[in-house]
Amino acid sequence: MRPLGTGREVAPGVSVIALLARSHHLDVYDAWCAPRACRVVVKTPRPDKLREPAARSDLLREGRLLRRLAHPHIVRAYGVHDLPRPVIVLETLGGETLGHLLRRRRRRLGAAEIAFLGTHVASALVYLHAEGMLHLDVKPSNIVADGGRAKLIDLSIARPPGRMRGGRGTWCNMAPEQARGGVIGPAADVFGLGTVLYEAATGANPFDDYDPDEDPSLKYRAARVRRARRLPVALEAVIDGCLEPAAADRPRLDEALATFAGVVGPC
């Protein structure tokens, strides 16, 4: 199914410039917003998914959540539209995803840069948790480095804490309890943060052996950071701690933030 063409109006005053990305259910477009006289990003179901109720409801739920959030390290939503098609209008972010940045760079991030990244992402998660929601998909491709500021994007599977079915998330970034299913709390996002910081420090995800039958975090504990990279002891300890298999053994986000501040200072 072809994407929407250039110039197609997808919401009042919002017209398509070009397709940026396509997933199983959604298209993401670069677009022009005439009322704001600026470029924006638009998320909308693929043309062949428009009649799927789940695609519509999930997108609108994400848009309404983003509209009520206001944090410097979470992408902003400008508008949510239901007709003629469900659409979220988002701010355009400069820079690149953390995943792209880590693949592009020849040198790994320094300790201060890792702590700086951790401060921004943990700050966003503290706020999101205070708003009664879990992100549940914290990974390098869902973090954008925008003008020296890390911004968390894609809240498409965000949910309140509670009992959830297993396997909803990205296989190599999910906490064991998230992969297994059951009662999920803020510690699941702490685990996701740990996978991000581990990859930022070492250049590799701690769970990179895909197994269609069992998520890797259910099979083994992540290797210690020190096996691949020497960092300040406190920073190593917080990254390793975030990846503890048992949710109760992981540090709280305020504890992690204190460690990051000790490495790089308040951000």
- Average of per-residue pLDDT across 117-140: 98
Number of domains in the chain: 2
* Residue 240 annotated as catalytic: no
Confidence at 118, pLDDT banded by 50, 70, 90? very high
Question: Is 197 among the domain residues?
Answer: yes
pLDDT tens digits along 6-21: 999 999 999 999 999 9
**pTM score:** 0.94
Are 143 and 208 in the same domain?
yes
Average model confidence (pLDDT) across the chain: 94
Of 91, 106, 121, the residue that ends a domain is: 91
> How far apart, in whole angstroms, are the C-alpha atoms of residue 257 and residue 253?
6
pLDDT tens digits along 136-163: 999 999 999 988 899 999 999 999 999 9
| Residue 39 neighbours by CB distance under 10 Å | 12
- Average of per-residue pLDDT across 212-240: 92
**What does DSSP assign to residue 217?**
G
Please pick, among 30, 58, 137, 254, the residue that the annotation labels catalytic.
137
| DSSP codes of every residue in 6-26 | TT-EEETTEEEEEEEEE-SSE
Q: Which domain holds residue 176?
A: 96-264
Question: Is 83 among the domain residues?
Answer: yes
Question: Is 2 among the domain residues?
Answer: no
Question: Is 71 among the domain residues?
Answer: yes
Query: Peptide bond preceding 84: is omega within 30 degrees of 0, i.e. cis?
Result: yes
Nearest to 202 by CA among 220, 175, 174, 222: 222
